[in-house]
Each structure stands twice: as C-alpha cells, then as structure tokens.
Chain A
C-alpha cells in the first residue's frame, strides 16, 4: 500500500534526502505562498463577495476560514510542485556490491517452532525459495554461518544449527573488518537473536554505523513460549567456610504456569542438599527465590539448582543451572576480648565451642589487673598474644575477627584503637561489639578512635544507655532475609521462631544506624511502650565489616529453652561465621565467573598484600594452572596499573572441564603467600537458555544501523529495500515526487472537500 501511494518503498524515504530540483530560490516560493494566501483571502472576504443571494450569512465566520484554508492549501501544493520536489538517495550499484548473508548456526536454531519445523529449516527455506536468487540478481552474495564466531560457507547445507553459543556482536565485528577491504553494501542476518554474550556492545554498533552498513534482520522463533520455565541464573558465594549455611539465589521466570507450585531442588552430584516449594509468579515476571543448603566439608562443590520438567513444557533444557562453590579448608581465628566476667561471655563460648571451623581465643579481665586467656581445644596455644590486648600489627592481624565485650575505650590506648581500625579497614577483618555497661556510648566510644568504625551514630546523652531490664526481640525485613538470623530454614517459621525466643536480660541503645548499615533485629524493652531500638546492626567497612549486638542478655535463649534447643548456638555460630568468612588472606585470587558456559576466555585477578596487609605493588605473581587431561600452564600475572597490589591475567581454556589455579606471590625472596581457585568450563549449555526470539535485540540492531527488521513472511521485501544503502559502492539517484499518486489524491481531496462543504452550505 505504501509503495502504491508513494511510488517508492519506505526505505527510499527513510534513507533519502529531500531536495527541490527547480533551482529557484526558496524565498520566492515563500513569497508566492504568502501572495497566494493574501489574494485568496481578499477573494473570500472582499466586500460584496457573498452579496445578493443571502450568502453573507451562509459564508460567515469559520466557514469562510475553512474555504480559504482549502484554497490556500491547493495553491501551496501547486507552487510546491512547481519547485520540482525529489528525493536524493544512495543506491547500491548493481553487481558491484556484496551482500553478506549471515545465518545463525547456533544450537537454539534447532528449536522446533511451528509445525515441528526448526528455525534453521525455516531460514534455509526462505533463502532457497527466492531471497538468495533475488539478491544474486543485483549483488554478489557471500554466505556466512554464525555461532560463537563467524565462518564463510559455500552452501546452505553447511548450516547445521549445532553451534555452542551465539555471539552476534563478535560475528558482526568480523563482517565490519571484511568491509575494510570489500564493498559490503548490507548485511542480512537470519537469527532468533538469542545472544549469549550479554548483548551487542556499543563499540560494535559504532563500527557498523561508521561503515554505514545497514543490518537487516529476519527474526525466527516464537517471541514467547506458551509453556516454559527457565532458570535464568543461580547466585551462590564463590567461597565458603565448611559446614556453613549458604543461600542459592535462584532467578527464574515462566510462561503458562502462573500460580502453580513447583519445587526448586539444589543438589551436588546425586545428593539433594535442599528442596523448596514455591508458587510461580505471573507469566514473564522474574522471580527470585533463595534456597538454603549446607556447604558441607571442605572441597570444590558443583552445585546444581533445578526444577523438574512441568507438563507440556516446550524447552526442558533450561530447567537447571550449575555453579561452583569453593569450600575452603580454613579455620578462621577470632579474638574475643571481654572487659568483665558475665554470663553472656560464658554462653557465647559455649555456643561456638562445637563449631569445628571457628577458633575462638578469649581474653577476660577477671580482676582489675588480671587477664584470663582461653584457647579452644585443638588450637595452637602459641597465639602470639604476649600480654593483654594486642599492641602490634602481627599480633592482631593474625586473627580474622575481633569481638569487644564490655571494654571501656579508656582501657585501649590510642595506638591500640588505631590498630583495631586498621584491622578492619586494611586487613579486612570483622569487628563485633557487644552491649555492656562499659560499651558503646557508656564506654566513651563516641570520643574514641573506634567511633568511625561503628555502624551507628551513638546517642549523645548523659543517661546510661545500657539497661538491665527485659527486652523482646523482633526481626526486621532485612533480618528475615539474612542468613545470620536464620535459626529455622523456612523463612516464615524463622520469623515465628524469633517471636518465641525468651526475652533478653538487658539491652543497650546503640544510637542511629548510619546510612550504609543494615539493622537485622530490634529490641523492644518491656514496659517501653512498644518503642524499638536497633539490636543487631551490620555494616561493611573498608575491606572488612563491623557489627553491634546491643545486648549481653541473649544467654537467656540458652537457659530458658530446653537443652535440645539450638537457637542460641545457631545464632552465634552464624554471626561469627559472617564476621570472618570474607576476611581475605594476603593473597586472594578470584575470577568473575567460576563457571563459564561455552566460552573459552577466563579472567584472573589476584590481590597481594604484604605482611602488614598493605598492597604489594612490586610482587612477582604466577598462576599455575592445572586442567583436564593433564593440561598445565604457568601464567605470569601483570600488575593492574590503576590498582596497587592487584595483578591480572587473561587465559584461554583449551577444552571443557575443571581447572585449578594456584597463585603464588613473592617479593624478592620473601614468600608473600598463595591462594587456590577452581573454575570450570562447560560447553553445550548456553544455547539451552533464552531460546525465545529476542525481537528487541534484532529490531534495535537494525534500527541502530539503518536497517530494518522483518518477519519471515516479509522477507520478500528485502531485495528491494536492500538496494538503498550508503555502504559499499553506491550511486546517488534522484527520485521525482511530483508524480506520486498521493499528490494526485491530495489535490483531488482538497477540491472535493471545498466543493462538498459549499454544497452543504448552499453557497455554490
């Protein structure tokens, strides 16, 4: 219809430039328009124009304006046509340009859609039916197949839909590179748009636009599945302590099963670690569900989150995702320095005594001038603590966590307070402050070197903030989600469990949480009129983390509940594990994706610190890589210019499988330490996901590059539209517009409108 009315395809108008070929000055046209308008106005409104036949009344007011407008428009149109309007458009010179036809050869193209026919078959059918022939009639056609790379092919039979991934951006980059030496006038991309590389980056789009190559896309596949559940991603911590409680955060969406209940399972090998029933949200809405499981003993764990196939589900290969968790064989050390003997000290020690991962050393001020030191069994008694609270970096930095009980800040010298600050900020340790009569505001912390570390702004009051009186406990919204406060696995049961905990023996007002802090639980003093005070507050600080547990009365959770109840133990173990699980070693290696799917590239990053945990910028860092089938390689890691103490390396995995990287760092002859990381490459996985046609991506790609998106049934128009391009070898053509059918219709329409109106008003 468009071409019928406008004589040319829409591509001419979208790519062409409007011109007036008469050569007469524009101001003459403008002047002529004004003159015509004035003349017509005089003719309509001149005195006596409507005399004699009662026309004064019939042609008055807006009717006269309407008639004038119709006549002026006609005059304007005729004047416009006199100036010879046209479109100047670049067209590809026939047979002197190349059209790159790129067919998606990835696994997702093997998805059967309509009538059992695969997308690949549909694409090949369109190409074979007429498109290739029509294109070959005007251009040279180069055939390519695309998956994780681009490859030239001679025949369409070479398209097999077995590619392991879809990297549209990378493939188009290669086309652009070819265009530097070849006259590529356009690209026709036949694909479902299911890109696995995270999209097409702006640089690639800019390169294509610079070359002015339009990319026309033909989209295949259903845009929305009728019945499918897809797990988009599973997030787990990359490292954990043994026997920790971890959360696998499962992101999923579905179509066709809204409101139904399904079970998300988490397993390792054949062993199911956890199962959780959820209710599916509406179609297409991303759902995030945490599933708790135990990390188990030390080792590298391949965790799989999956949902069993649902009835009539169209794609069964996207129901499970794997991730790696490295459970470190690590026993972090915690120093608990307590200023006064009290029951909270006793029961905290008891709560973590059976946790074989945590190693707690306690120092207690038993008398005004005596300290009593205790080290849990199986620990090295040589704790490097000579006397009292540590005064040297090595003494304190050997620990990964620090707990301060009721310790007045005056007891700690300024140098010790600074040491604690560095322990958290530089070393990356965790600091937990307990409530007490010599703690927080009552301990003078507001005026101390520790004030900055606190996750709260202490209250400015002369009244005592530590009160020995009962207080109930309540989880906040953040506390309901946090693993620290997860006594029961089921979140709803956990909330109820917290409500039933015995009241605390005492509480302290810790002040107002700072902006970056998170309150996990509140205390509600009995007889306090329902007022709430923050009880458990956590905050990241520098490389470490700080927390306040504003009470010394949680021991009642142990004494006022049956022996078999483990609430107190679970709470403290989880709190202390949180305190130390992310405390880094001096050498720490990481990779952004421990599990890579259908990709060979891996990035390694190592942070290196010296013995005082300052960044070590001139270390020698090597990564020794061990892979499947005896693959070994040593890679030198280079310093990152803008981040002192950080070393990076890029490596290409030769094949799928598990790889172990041991990174060692040296400074001269001094060994700074080492760290080990495991990652895994899996192939044949990426194409199982996002198999719905990504029409948005294809349309955007086309529109950004000056091309157009077509449905398969519209593919016949490509051969015409493709002619209009500014890439390759082109010639500038002029297309007259004066003889467009729409002009004729406009002229007729204007006259008809005026005549019809006059007849209706009786003024003809």
Chain B
C-alpha cells in the first residue's frame, strides 16, 4: 500500500514538473519517408540536445484520407493519411536548419520540434511553425481555435507543398475555420518578406522530387506558383502560403546532385527571408 502511494506520488510529481515546465522535450517520430528509429538511416546530429534561442516547429495534424487515390506498396495512401504531416521529415528539417545556421545569425537548434494543436500550451513555446502538404490537412474546430489563438498572439505559420485546385480547397476548408473573416491575398513583390535578407523579386516555381520522374515543375492543375498570405490588423503576415510549389522537397534534396541547385537555392532563400520576416515583424 505504502509502495503504491509512493509510486503515485512520484508519478504525480513528474506530471506536475511537466505541467510546470510546459515545454515538451525534443523527440523523434515515425515518418512516412524516413524511419527515424533506424539511426543508420537518419542519425541525429551530435548537438541535437543543445539549447538555443530558436528552432522551427513542424505541425502534426490529422489529415483527410487520400484525395487522389494513390497508395504505396504497403497499401498506405501516398497522399493523406495519419502520417501526411511527416512528408520530407526529418531530412528536410535538418537540412533547412543547417542552412539557417550557415546563412543567418539566428541561433538555431539543429533539430526541429514537433508540435500539436491539442489544447495544451506547448505549441505557444514555438512561435515559428511550418506545416507541409496542407492540401490534406483536416483541422477540427478545437484545433482551428487554438491555431487562431497561436497566430493572434504573435505566432507565424508557413505552409508549403500543396498543389492545384482540389488541394487548395481542402486547405481552405480548415483555414477558414481559423480565420473565417480574413482574406487570403497574393503577396506583392514589394512586401518586406521578399527583401528582408535577399531581394526575391524574380521568383519561380520550385518543384518537388516528382520533377525527376514527370519532368514537370507543377502537380495536378497547379501550373503557377502562388505566394500568398493572411495579414493581421497591423499589416503583418501571420500565415505565409506557398501554393503550387514544394520547398520542402528542395530542402530535402538540396544535397543530392540530381536536384537542380537553382531550385534548392531559391527554396533556402525563401525560407531565410520568411524566418527573418517573422523575427522582425
């Protein structure tokens, strides 16, 4: 009996410690494309535990089922499904963060942080959030409420790698739950986000690795790249929308000589500008 009480007390204190600290520690998750549990496949950087001023968070979200009817050899939907949020993870993230270290003075961690819109406060500890393949996301009302709160408090969301009209509509369905009364607008070339480090007046479509198979820079009917945003009442971008492009793949494959350098370079520059814009606005 006494041992049980001690055990409960220890558990409770850990729980209390966790609540008190409210910042979840780093951990890895099973990915669609990379098996992080196999350290040979994608080892952790040596300094993964180093505490820094900044890191980029990746949003874990529930997804719709397959939109386009594609499945892999395991019978898992290639698009959609519970692991949709892990597309490019963690290789894309780790490459990108190395780029941040090399190209800016941001003191970044070498590894990403996975966050949830689960009603817990942890998401607010990571004001820079990235979500991939949001053409498949399916936010609940509660998740949308928390995302709205996150953004209005000062958080920044960058969404990427979703293509065409169908995926745009799926994205919009959840995004409209977050901000039903805010317009999504095309970013003007003069916007500071395109000039905060690099001048990015001449942008072009950045395709994903599918280009090496299809030979096309677009997917579905996403012919033209769209740089769009949702602004707050002070004229600051809260949500930066990269539609009809795949920056995540560009970061992921930037070290592969088969992936053209010009796309990788632009993808990094866009990311650096977007991160710097967030930290200066």
Q: Are B53 and A353 in contact (CB under 8 A)?
A: no
Mark contacts of A558-578 with chain B using CB atoms, 8 A cut-off: 1 yes-contact digit, 0 otherwise. 111111000000000000000
Q: In the complex, how many angstroms separate the beta carbon of A603 from the nearest chain B beta carbon?
A: 47
Contact of B196 among A362, A372, A552 (CB under 8 A): A372
- The reply to whether the CB of A368 lies closer than 8 angstroms to some CB of chain B is yes
Do residues B103 and A342 form an inter-chain contact, with CB atoms below 8 A?
no
- Contacts A347-B154, A559-B153 known; A342 to B53 CB distance under 8 Å? yes
Please provide the chain A residues from 428 to 475 with a CB less than 8 Å away from any CB of chain B in the complex: 437, 468-470
Cβ of B44 under 8 Å from chain A? no
Chain B nearest CB from A450 CB (Å) reads 21
Give 30 CB contacts A-B under 8 Å. A339-B105, A340-B107, A341-B106, A341-B276, A343-B127, A345-B279, A346-B278, A346-B279, A349-B280, A349-B281, A353-B234, A362-B280, A364-B280, A366-B196, A366-B197, A366-B276, A367-B104, A367-B105, A367-B197, A368-B105, A468-B51, A468-B53, A552-B53, A556-B124, A559-B125, A559-B127, A559-B153, A560-B22, A563-B149, A563-B153
Q: In the complex, how many angstroms separate the beta carbon of A438 from the nearest chain B beta carbon?
A: 10
A374 interface residue (CB < 8 Å to B): yes
By beta carbon, the residue of chain A nearest B281 is A346
Q: Give bound CA distance, A715 to B85, whole Å.
A: 101
**Chain A neighbourhood of B183, CB < 8 A:** none
A336 → chain B closest CB, angstroms: 11
Taking the complex as formed, is A125 at the interface, i.e. its CB lies under 8 A from any CB of chain B?
Answer: no
Interface positions, chain A 157-195, Cβ under 8 Å from B, are: none
A366 to B153, Cβ gap below 8 A? no
Cα distance A502–B52 when bound, in Å? 19
Given A468-B51, A558-B153; A343-B279 close (CB under 8 Å): yes
Tell me if B23 counts as interface (CB < 8 A to partner A): yes
- Tell me if A53 is interfacial: C-beta within 8 Å of chain B: no
- Check A340–B153 contact: CB distance below 8 A: no
In the bound complex, residues from chain A placing their C-beta under 8 Å from that of B127 are 343, 346, 555, 559
* Cβ A367 vs Cβ B52 within 8 A: no
B29 within 8 Å of A (CB atoms): no
Contacts of A46 on B, CB cut-off 8 Å? Answer: none
CB distance from B231 to the nearest CB of A (A): 14
Q: Which residues of A contact B42 (CB under 8 A)?
A: none
Identify the closest chain A residue to B151 (Cβ): A563
Bound together, the chains give a CA A350 to CA B156 distance in angstroms of: 14
Report Cα–Cα, A552/B51, bound state, in Å: 14
Q: How far in angstroms is the closest Cβ of chain B from A406?
A: 9
Q: Is B21 an interface residue (CB 8 A)?
A: yes
Kindly state whether residue A271 has any CB partner on chain B within 8 Å.
Answer: no
Q: Which of A310-369 contact B (CB under 8 A)?
A: 339-343, 345-347, 349-350, 353, 362, 364-368
Q: Does B16 contact A (CB under 8 A)?
A: no
Q: Given the interface contacts A372-B280, A559-B153, A560-B124, does A340 sit within 8 Å of B196 by beta carbon?
A: no
B125 proximity list for chain A (CB < 8 A): 505, 556, 559-560
B278 contacts across to A, CB distance below 8 A: 346
Determine whether B14 belongs to the interface, using a CB cutoff of 8 Å to chain A: no
Contacts of B70 in A (CB 8 A): none
Contacts A367-B197, A559-B124, A563-B149: A341 and B280 contacting too (C-beta < 8 A)?
yes
* B220 CB within 8 Å of chain A: no
Which chain B residue has the least Cβ–Cβ distance from A369?
B105
Q: State whether the Cβ of A759 lies closer than 8 Å to any Cβ in chain B.
A: no
Digitize B49-60: 1 where CB-to-A-CB distance is under 8 Å, 0 elsewhere. 001111000000
Q: Are B106 and A340 in contact (CB under 8 A)?
A: yes
A526 within 8 A of B: yes
Give the contacting residue for B106; candidates A342, A469, A502; CB below 8 A.
A342
- Which residues, 160 to 208 on B, are CB-close (under 8 Å) to A? 196-197
- Excluding A469-B51, A552-B53, 13 further A-B contacts by CB distance (< 8 Å) are A340-B106, A341-B276, A342-B53, A343-B279, A346-B154, A346-B281, A372-B276, A372-B280, A470-B21, A555-B154, A556-B125, A560-B121, A562-B153
Which residues of the other chain, B, contact A365 by a CB distance below 8 angstroms?
A: 105
Q: Taking the nearest CB of chain B, how far is it from the CB of A160, in angstroms?
A: 66
Instruction: Kindly list chain B residues whose C-beta atoms are within 8 Å of the C-beta of A506.
Output: 53
> Is B11 positioned at the interface, with any CB of A under 8 Å from its CB?
no
B149 touches A562 (CB 8 A): yes
Contact in complex: B105, A559 (CB < 8 Å):
no
Chain B residue contacts of A340, Cβ below 8 A: 53, 105-107
Q: Give B128-163 as 1s and 0s: 1 = Cβ < 8 Å from A's Cβ atoms.
A: 000000000000000000000100111100000000
- CA A365 – CA B197 in complex, angstroms? 10
Residue from B22, B23, B105 within 8 A of A341 (CB atoms) = B105
Q: Is A370 an interface residue (CB 8 A)?
A: yes
Residues 31-75 of chain B: 1 if any A CB is under 8 Å from the residue's CB, otherwise 0?
000000000000000000001111000000000000000000000
Q: Which of A341, A368, A558 contacts B279 (CB 8 A)?
A: A341
CB-CB under 8 A for A366 and B105, given A347-B154, A468-B51, A560-B125: yes
Residue of A nearest to B152 (CB): A563
Within the assembled complex, what's the spacing in Å between the Cα atoms of A362 and B103? 21
- Smallest beta-carbon distance A350→chain B, Å: 6
Interface string of A70-102 (1 = CB under 8 A from B): 000000000000000000000000000000000
Q: Convert B237-281 into 0s and 1s, putting 1 for each residue whose CB lies closer than 8 angstroms to a CB of A.
A: 000000000000000000000000000000000000001101111
- Which of A340, A345, A366 gathers most chain B CB within 10 Å? A366
CB distance from A434 to the nearest CB of B (A): 12
CB contacts (< 8 Å) of B53 on chain A: these are 340, 342-343, 437, 468, 506, 552
